[in-house]
A and B are shown apart, each in its own frame.
Chain A
């Protein structure tokens, strides 16, 4: 069997235009016993803070990162630029750890 298909993998850079989602094998759930949200991934358990939870809940593969930043900027009455940068950093970190699908670039 040839393995050509994955030979040229590249790092995905998160931008405002990405439409991220959690892969099938990453699960976010509320852990009642520990009283917190957790992100379950291969050999890892992440502990997202409130903002991260709010962002990840909106990562449905439809909304763009910019859309999500817009919603949160409204919700938290915070400057859009700041929120957008924070979200991109957070999502980039998760993408680098292999627990986020960056999603296709939006056409707009």
Chain B
């Protein structure tokens, strides 16, 4: 085990998603050997991103302003909302260019073992967006895994009585996986073939 500064660097790197102890060590030694300027730039972008990036007031996507790029765009269809778990899912769906409406980032999925219940997600905020009757369809694009499906079922039960049409992405997405890992073509097809839930 390493001690002192290098030890705590390895420990902190090891907390990053997808980075195990071995990779943390490798990255730490890469940092030690890299140009000082490169490392300053890296450290600055981390601090800057954390300071500047906020969440969109309407859809909770990451944004540098009160409204995100998508919510500001007048060409987007106000009648359709696509509900996703995370901001990274917005990026995945945008890549398909299939979807012209706006998003709603729920902030995760219902998962009791992680202490996440419906009240911890931005569900109330979604219901508020539906109040004026402009939105006619909500596409629930949560991950095709247990927690994503459960969240979708929960949302559907709330939304249907409000008179909006609710649809789920068509099957064909890799089951058990993350939406963000689906390739553009598969995700695009899933969007096109979405089925309405009665």
Report if A and B associate in a common complex: no
Chain A residues near B (Cβ < 8 Å): none
Which of B's residues lie within 8 Å of A, judged by CB? none
